[in-house]
A and B are shown apart, each in its own frame.
Chain A
Amino acid sequence: DTGVSQDPRHKITKRGQNVTFRCDPISEHNRLYWYRQTLGQGPEFLTYFQNEAQLEKSRLLSDRFSAERPKGSFSTLEIQRTEQGDSAMYLCASSPPIGGTEAFFGQGTRLTVV
């Protein structure tokens, strides 16, 4: 499968624990996005990478959230000290270099904080 891959698909964690999600974009896609989606809402932008550089972070991304893309390939999103309000679907998308703007989404990681 050469699509965007996310791991894990589901995560249940206790409040206060740290969680980390991984996203592997489509090969040669240099742009990578993280979005969060809650029930009844469209995806909300969290952060954006071009290669390894994190170019933008949403105000939604509190200090408990951090994202990395160390070698410009896969990316990780970490949430520290999870809260129940963090329960959501976390979507990763990638798009090719300038000239292509379609973003292709992974299957998402559904986080449930209990």
Chain B
Amino acid sequence: EDKVVQSPLSLVVHEGDTVTLNCSYEVTNFRSLLWYKQEKKAPTFLFMLTSSGIEKKSGRLSSILDKKELFSILNITATQTGDSAIYLCAGYITGANSKLTFGKGITLSVRP
């Protein structure tokens, strides 16, 4: 059965800290790994990673995928209170029955 595990499940940091969020996966017919940010409502898309070793960056956020070790990390530098959210990663399987399989999410709290 497809499985996505995120760690830690929750994290409290102070503004300005750097955080690393982890995601490991066991997904058959793997195609890509996606990161989402969820505040009070729907998840919003952050990154899609398909190839190993290629870092994707968006402002203070960056992410990378290791397809050999089956994990991904999401880094946030110089954290701000607005980064407080649940961060979800999901494995996307290809084929006729494509779907995203999500981890439980990491709750990040950034304190002033």
Contact = CB atoms under 8 A, between A and B. Distances in A.
A85 interface: no
Contacts of B88: 42-43
Contact of B48 (A4, A35, A101): A101
Main secondary structure of the interface of B (DSSP, over half): strand
Interface of B: 4, 6, 31-32, 34, 36, 41-45, 48, 88, 90, 92, 96-105
Contacts, number: 58
Given A56-B99, A101-B92, 10 more contacts: A42-B4, A42-B103, A43-B88, A43-B102, A45-B102, A48-B98, A56-B97, A101-B98, A108-B41, A108-B42
Interface residues of A, number: 24
Nearest to B41: A107
A101 B34 contact: yes
Interface of A: 4, 31, 33, 35, 40-45, 48, 50, 55-56, 91, 93, 101-108
Given A43-B43, A103-B34, A33 B103 contact: no
B79 to A, nearest CB: 22
Given A48-B99, A55-B97, A56-B99, A101 B32 contact: yes
